[in-house]
């Protein structure tokens, strides 16, 4: 990786107090403000004609600081000059236009008599690749108070000369023995359907052989080759490149016009000894090559140009089944072979229908030369998995706009996810903050809302955050709270067989006493809701953990509830409790049995109920 130092002899500055004076003879370049010169701007012409590339790895401007006024930092900004100037004649009155770049440094008093460096790689690359013409740079100091004086070539002491240090990667040079070939035909031969063109002439050849007036062209050195061909025929026609008597995918070109020429191109992977031919593969009939099209001279009626552009591609033998698969069944068997070692987590999370779409994508997008490595196959698989829309697995990410529910393009709201998922499917809710400004209605049977760690829903209004009306729905792994306490529950269950698993629901802090707290609740079941399951949830800082309405049945197991007036309020319900525990600060009561609740099972033995639930404090109001 060469590093070169480019000198900058054409350096000067201009002064607003001396607007007609040129200062290119000065040993120092003034940048900033001071009483004698007022506003001073440095100018530098930089000659990059010796740089042999159009992109460099780094370009660092090195300047020696000789004078700096003031004790505060002096900001020095690199500006791209946008019009020509001559360093030997420019004055403040003829100052060229310029625009600031992102390159700048702060010069300190500690930098005196040292070399400071400014990275201008982006600007140099813009010059080299032609984005902007190279008219040089202007240095400015926007603080309006301090002045920095940088050394120029006129200072005589060479270590202080300004310079641009450039590092770049070597331009690859094609090897002198890189195979190439140009073979052409000047005759008016007629080529029958499924016959090949016999080329009459050999142009430049190296590492490629061909006998004149024959069709086969022989590759002598294995490698990847770029192949271009031309055909000019009297009839409408179509030709295809053949490799060892097999058509090369993507090499068929043609024209529907008579007496017309066209060009085809393709890249092939060839072994030593492979034969290349150009065949009249699917034309309607024989094709007469036309060597007189367009003029009176004998022209080229067909040609092939071949250039080796890389080493031969050797696909991993492990990928034979993948590269030979002809349908999704074969591709599924190939990629799920444990010996291949692919990471199939994303693929396995998809429904069978979505997996089939991914498998078809692997078939459709498989390179003609095959997947060259397991890593390239993994990359293609991951991309297909991320792009597929699986109605059984919809993705949501807070703030996403214009999504479709795929991993790569998730929806931005939970409601969008519910609308898109099919019954029985899962809405995957990624980590993030989800403001709830309208009620979420989980209204599809069997749907799971699955929160990733860090998925937090914040209620921002006086309404029930989530209403569950879909039978068999599950809410799992979500954190829910509100911006202020609202007299509503966060989740209302209005369907049978609903499961709440591993959620954390808490309210904003409210001052004591609890009797004055806003009646906010984690969960409320509607009357006669059957087979509810609450498991491993955490509820705290609420008036009530769960209010269980009459006729509700189900199981409430292994939850943690604390800092509530009542952890679980049983109002004529028949839910069982087991393994629940109580944190700090404690609840006023852990379990409350309200009037009208049965005296029989499962509430006939309160001592056992307390023991089964971490010695729960029970308020029996029956």
Across the range 315-329, mean pLDDT stands at: 90
- Whether 174 has a pLDDT exceeding 60, the answer reads no
Q: What's the pLDDT at 382? A: 94
Q: Does 606 sit behind a cis peptide bond, omega within 30 degrees of 0 on the bond before it?
A: no
**Please, are residues 428 and 396 in contact by the beta-carbon 8 Å criterion?**
yes
Residue whose entry in the numeric block shows the structure tokens 């706009």: 401
Q: Is 387 helix (H, G, I), strand (E, B) or coil?
A: helix
Give residue-wise pLDDT tens across range 559-578: 999 999 999 999 999 999 99
Which positions ≥6 away from 281 have C-beta within 8 Å? 193, 194, 238, 239, 240, 242, 247, 252
Greater confidence, 253 or 156?
Answer: 253
Q: What's the pLDDT at 616? A: 96
Cα–Cα distance, 133 to 3 (Å, whole number): 23
Cα–Cα distance, 560 to 153 (Å, whole number): 77
Across the range 91-103, mean pLDDT stands at: 94
Cα–Cα distance, 505 to 558 (Å, whole number): 15
Give residue-wise pLDDT tens across range 108-158: 999 999 999 999 999 999 998 888 999 999 999 999 999 999 999 998 888
Beta bridge pairs of residue 307: 180, 226
Q: What's the pLDDT at 444? A: 98
Q: What's the pLDDT at 187? A: 82
Poorest-pLDDT segment among 150-164, 183-197, 279-293, 440-454: 279-293
Give residue-wise pLDDT tens across range 593-615: 999 999 999 999 999 999 999 99
DSSP E strand boundaries for 251-301: 253-255, 260-270, 275-280, 287-288
What is the band of 173 on the pLDDT scale with cuts at 50, 70, 90?
A: low
Beta bridge pairs of residue 183: 202, 304
- Whether 476 has a pLDDT exceeding 90, the answer reads yes
Give residue-wise pLDDT tens across range 501-520: 999 999 999 999 999 999 99
Give residue-wise pLDDT tens across range 145-157: 999 999 999 988 8
DSSP E strand boundaries for 287-388: 287-288, 302-310
Q: What's the pLDDT at 314? A: 76
Q: What's the pLDDT at 315? A: 73
Distances (CA, A) of 356 to 332, 341, 425, 588: 8, 20, 17, 55
- Whether 247 has a pLDDT exceeding 60, the answer reads yes
Across the range 337-358, mean pLDDT stands at: 94
Mean pLDDT value across the chain = 93
- Whether 69 has a pLDDT exceeding 70, the answer reads yes
Q: How is residue 159 written in tokens?
A: 């270590």
Q: Is 309 helix (H, G, I), strand (E, B) or coil?
A: strand
- Whether 192 has a pLDDT exceeding 70, the answer reads yes
φ/ψ of 29, rounded to 5, equals -110, 120
What is the band of 171 on the pLDDT scale with cuts at 50, 70, 90?
A: low
**Please, are residues 250 and 368 in contact by the beta-carbon 8 Å criterion?**
yes
Cα–Cα distance, 95 to 22 (Å, whole number): 11
φ/ψ of 201, rounded to 5, equals -135, 150
Exposure string of 388-419, with b = 16+ CB inside 10 Å and e = fewer, is bbbebbbbbbbebeebebbbebbbbbbbbbbe
What is the band of 25 on the pLDDT scale with cuts at 50, 70, 90?
A: very high
Across the range 84-106, mean pLDDT stands at: 95
Residue whose entry in the numeric block shows the structure tokens 């404090």: 617
Q: What's the pLDDT at 54? A: 85
What is the band of 172 on the pLDDT scale with cuts at 50, 70, 90?
A: low
Cα–Cα distance, 483 to 461 (Å, whole number): 8
HSE-up of residue 436 (Cα within 13 Å, Cβ side): 26
What is the band of 91 on the pLDDT scale with cuts at 50, 70, 90?
A: very high
φ/ψ of 243, rounded to 5, equals -125, 115
What is the band of 531 on the pLDDT scale with cuts at 50, 70, 90?
A: very high
- Whether 34 has a pLDDT exceeding 70, the answer reads yes
Burial of 572 (0-12, 13-18, 19+ CB in 10 A): middle
Q: How is residue 34 written in tokens?
A: 């001071």
Beta bridge pairs of residue 118: 61
Give residue-wise pLDDT tens across range 36-50: 899 999 999 999 988
Q: What's the pLDDT at 2? A: 83
Element (H, E) at 385: helix 374-387
**Please, are residues 118 and 105 in contact by the beta-carbon 8 Å criterion?**
yes
φ/ψ of 236, rounded to 5, equals -60, 140
Query: Global pTM?
Result: 0.61
- Whether 229 has a pLDDT exceeding 80, the answer reads yes
Cα–Cα distance, 292 to 300 (Å, whole number): 8
DSSP E strand boundaries for 108-200: 115-119, 137-140, 147-151, 163-167, 180-185, 190-191
Q: How is residue 274 written in tokens?
A: 């492979």
How many CB atoms sit inside 10 A of residue 137's CB? Answer: 25
Exposure string of 117-126, with b = 16+ CB inside 10 Å and e = fewer, is ebbbbebbbb
Cα 220 to chain centroid, rounded: 42
Cα–Cα distance, 532 to 538 (Å, whole number): 16
Q: At what angle do helices 352-364 and 328-335 cross, to 10 degrees?
A: 100
Cα–Cα distance, 303 to 223 (Å, whole number): 21
Across the range 480-509, mean pLDDT stands at: 97
Poorest-pLDDT segment among 302-311, 442-451, 568-577: 302-311
Which positions ≥6 away from 203 have C-beta within 8 Å? 181, 182, 183, 184
- Whether 162 has a pLDDT exceeding 90, the answer reads yes
Pairing of strands 426-429, 448-451: parallel
Sheet with 302-310, side-by-side order of all strands: 201-206, 180-185, 302-310, 223-233, 260-270
Cα–Cα distance, 144 to 432 (Å, whole number): 45
CA distance from start to end of the chain: 86
**Percentage of the chain surpassing pLDDT 70?**
99
Q: What's the pLDDT at 176? A: 56
DSSP E strand boundaries for 274-403: 275-280, 287-288, 302-310, 393-396
Which positions ≥6 away from 403 have C-beta within 8 Å? 395, 397, 409, 410, 411, 412, 416
Cα–Cα distance, 363 to 351 (Å, whole number): 19
């Amino acid at each position: 990786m060469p590093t070169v130092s480019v000198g900058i002899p054409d350096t000067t500055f201009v002064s607003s107090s001396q607007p007609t004076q040129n200062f290119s003879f000065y040993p120092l370049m003034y940048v900033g403000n001071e009483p004698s010169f007022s506003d001073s701007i440095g100018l530098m012409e930089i000659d990059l004609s010796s740089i042999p590339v159009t992109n460099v790895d780094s370009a660092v401007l090195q300047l020696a600081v000789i004078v700096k006024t003031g004790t505060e930092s002096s900001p020095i900004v690199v500006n791209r000059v946008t019009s020509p100037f001559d360093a030997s004649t420019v004055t403040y009155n003829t100052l060229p236009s310029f625009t600031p770049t992102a390159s700048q440094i702060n010069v300190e008093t500690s930098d005196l008599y040292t070399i400071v460096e400014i990275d201008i790689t982006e600007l140099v690359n813009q010059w080299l690749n032609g984005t902007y013409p190279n008219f040089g740079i202007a240095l400015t100091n926007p603080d309006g108070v301090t002045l920095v004086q940088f050394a120029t070539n006129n200072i005589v002491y060479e270590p202080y000369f300004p310079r641009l240090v450039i590092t770049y990667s070597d331009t690859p040079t094609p090897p002198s023995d890189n195979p190439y070939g140009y073979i052409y035909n000047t005759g008016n031969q007629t080529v029958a359907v499924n016959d090949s063109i016999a080329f009459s002439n050999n142009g430049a050849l190296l590492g490629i052989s061909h006998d004149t007036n024959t069709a086969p062209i022989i590759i002598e050195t294995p490698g990847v080759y770029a192949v271009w061909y031309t055909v000019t025929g009297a009839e409408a026609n179509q030709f295809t490149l053949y490799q060892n008597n097999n058509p090369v995918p993507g090499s068929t070109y043609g024209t529907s016009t008579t007496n017309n020429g066209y060009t085809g191109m393709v890249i092939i992977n060839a072994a030593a000894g492979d034969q290349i031919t150009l065949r009249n593969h699917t034309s309607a009939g024989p094709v007469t090559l036309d060597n007189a099209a367009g003029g009176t001279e004998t022209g080229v009626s067909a040609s092939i140009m071949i250039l080796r552009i890389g080493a031969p591609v050797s696909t991993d033998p492990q990928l034979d089944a993948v590269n030979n698969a002809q349908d999704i069944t074969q591709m599924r068997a190939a990629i799920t072979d444990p010996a291949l070692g692919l990471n199939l987590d994303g693929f396995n999370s998809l429904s069978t229908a979505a997996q089939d779409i991914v498998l078809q994508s692997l078939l459709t997008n498989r390179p003609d030369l095959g997947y060259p490595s397991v890593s390239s196959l993994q990359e293609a698989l991951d991309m297909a998995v991320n792009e597929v829309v699986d109605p059984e697995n919809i993705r949501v990410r807070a703030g996403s706009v214009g999504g479709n529910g795929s991993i790569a393009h998730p929806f931005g709201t939970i409601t969008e996810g519910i609308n898109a998922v099919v019954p029985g499917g899962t809405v995957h809710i990624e980590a993030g903050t989800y403001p709830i400004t309208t009620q979420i209605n989980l209204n599809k049977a069997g749907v799971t809302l699955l929160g990733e760690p860090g998925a937090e829903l914040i209620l921002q209004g006086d309404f029930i955050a989530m209403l569950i009306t879909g039978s068999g729905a599950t809410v799992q792994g979500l954190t829910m709270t509100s911006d202020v306490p609202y007299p509503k529950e966060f989740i209302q269950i209005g369907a049978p067989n609903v499961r709440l698993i591993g959620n954390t629901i808490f309210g904003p802090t409210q001052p004591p006493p609890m009797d004055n707290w806003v009646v906010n609740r984690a969960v409320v079941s509607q009357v006669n809701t059957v087979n509810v399951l609450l498991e491993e949830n955490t509820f705290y800082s609420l008036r009530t953990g769960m209010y269980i309405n009459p006729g509700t049945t189900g199981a409430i197991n292994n939850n943690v509830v604390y800092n509530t007036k009542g952890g679980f309020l049983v109002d004529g319900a028949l839910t069982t409790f087991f393994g629940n525990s109580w944190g700090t600060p404690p609840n006023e009561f852990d379990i409350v049995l309200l009037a009208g609740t049965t005296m029989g099972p499962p509430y006939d033995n309160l001592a056992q109920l307390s023991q089964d639930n971490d010695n729960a404090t029970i308020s029996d109001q029956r």
